[in-house]
Amino acid sequence: MARFSPFQDTLWFATAPAAPQAETLQGEIRADVCVVGAGYAGLTTALELAQTGVSVAVLEREEIGFGGSGRNAGHCTPTFTHYSLPDLRRVLGAPWAERLIRRQTRANDTVGGLIARYGIDCEWEQNGYVQGALFPSHMKTLEKRAEEYNAVGAKTRLLDRDEVEKITGSARFYGGWYHAEAGGLNPLAYARGLGRAVMAEGGRIFTGAEVTGCTPAAGKWRVKTAQGAVLADKVIYTTGAYTVSGWPRLEETFRIMRVFVAATQPLSEDSRAAILPARTTLHDGRGDILVYKFSAQNRLVASMFPMGRRGRDAAHTVRVLNERLKWLHPGLREEPRWEYFWFGEVDMQRLTIPRLYQLATGVVAMTGLSGRGVPTASMLGAVLADWARGTALADLDLRLEPLSFQPRYMSFAPQLALRGYRLRDDLRALTQGAQLPPHF
């Protein structure tokens, strides 16, 4: 498999409004700040800076939204994937945990605010998120989660079995956790809209501009491409999982994990009524997760982690998706017809939270979003802009830390973890009298 899957395979590439007209870099230009990478993090950073009169140039190797920002499943859930809030506080300590929690739990206000302010046409729907409980014991975990998030101002609640069925159309769950502020969008349309906003505020975006090096130049930094360079006071790398060049060993600060996404043809009214009647996003509650939602065209968009033939063999993948959906929604009268299949890459690292690295004086990189890209990268633009404007390091909402590298075994850890989650779920089902769909 190629390092990155074809960008043109995605539903979003087929349905997003056209990309704004970026520039081609020829010769050397001057900017206060050079941002490398035109995904959510880079674009929101550039937007924050341009709004306050800072001259900013964005360099993008491919096109706006080419990386994870244009390939993800379009979920926008302002939570943490791998940590409870108490665990996050233990890992990060004060004041960093509280600052990150505040930013993350309010991130959808940032996303929705940007969409409204700049009139971004991206199919934004804020219809909530449900994580189902497939085991009785899972309800206790979700009850704690609701208490934790509500204590910091989030709008969540615990659902009983009947409420979950009413919202999701599935009677398979003992209950669930509902996050009212979660939403979904066309992620590439959102990225392209952010690009337009940057340009409208006076920022410059250059595509087809792969960074080949970054060197000191009389108290500034010269960020070089094949055709030109940007001479800047400060440089911010935001290339994430799609880092291929530009700074030595930056790609070793994370390990790539793949996620596959699939989208159906528009569903019939009968099928549409059987699945997600409230148009929420649904997490099916398993360790080996299935997450799905509807697009604006009533296409079902589902994402899972590849395992064995799943995600690589199209016929097998269709069988997996349809069997899982039929088990969750027995009232589904027809098999969905899957039209689009693609992969996205995630920049995983040990802590599974964003990391802000000091590469040199005046140069930083942000990596490690670990699968929460839409809300997290959108809110981090303000943090990176604060650094560029000279905010004291002690007052930043992310700790600035020395460059650190992720061990090679992390490349295999996700697949091992998935198998462990399957075993754990099987044991829970056996001991708690719960039912699970068959494994594939």
Domains of the chain: 7-73+188-255+350-406 (3.50.50.60), 129-180+266-336+413-432 (3.30.9.10)
CB atoms within 10 A of CB 56: 28
Distances, alpha carbon 192 to alpha carbons 20, 175, 209, 261, 310, in Å:
7, 38, 17, 20, 31
- Report pTM: 0.95
Residue with tokens 């349905």: 15
**Do residues 308 and 439 lie in contact, with contact meaning Cβ atoms separated by under 8 Å?**
no
Q: How far apart are CA 338 and CA 321, in angstroms?
A: 9
Residue 288: per-residue pLDDT: 87
Among residues 184, 194, 183, the alpha carbon closest in space to that of 37 is found at 194
Residue 255: per-residue pLDDT: 85
**Do residues 69 and 191 lie in contact, with contact meaning Cβ atoms separated by under 8 Å?**
yes
Beta bridge mates, 157: 178
**Do residues 186 and 12 lie in contact, with contact meaning Cβ atoms separated by under 8 Å?**
yes
Residue 1: per-residue pLDDT: 43
Type of residue at 285: G
Q: How far apart are CA 39 and CA 378, in angstroms?
A: 9
Residues near 313 by beta carbon (within 8 Å), at least 6 away in sequence:
none
Residue 202: per-residue pLDDT: 99
**How would you write the pLDDT of the chain (440 residues) with one tens digit per residue?**
456 678 899 999 999 999 999 999 999 999 999 999 999 999 999 999 999 999 999 999 999 999 999 999 999 999 998 889 999 999 999 899 999 999 999 999 999 999 999 999 999 999 999 999 999 999 999 999 999 999 999 999 999 999 999 999 999 999 999 999 999 999 999 999 999 999 999 999 999 999 999 999 999 999 999 999 999 999 999 998 898 888 989 988 888 888 999 999 999 988 888 899 999 999 999 888 999 999 999 999 999 988 888 888 889 999 999 999 999 999 888 889 999 999 988 887 877 889 999 999 999 999 888 777 799 999 999 999 999 999 999 999 999 999 988 767 667 777 777 788 788 888 888 898 888 876 65
Q: How far apart are CA 297 and CA 281, in angstroms?
A: 15
Q: Supply the angle between the helices 96-105 and 85-92 in degrees, to the nearest 10.
A: 140
In this structure, the strands spanning 255-264 and 56-60 are unpaired
Residue with tokens 């906003």: 197
Residue-by-residue DSSP string for 95-123: THHHHHHHHHHTHHHHHHHHHHHHT--S-
Among residues 188, 54, 58, the alpha carbon closest in space to that of 121 is found at 188
Q: Tell me if residue 360 falls in helix, strand or coil.
A: strand
Tell me: cis bond preceding 95? Omega within 30 of 0 counts. yes
Type of residue at 24: T
CA angle (7 as vertex; 6, 10 as ends), nearest 5: 105
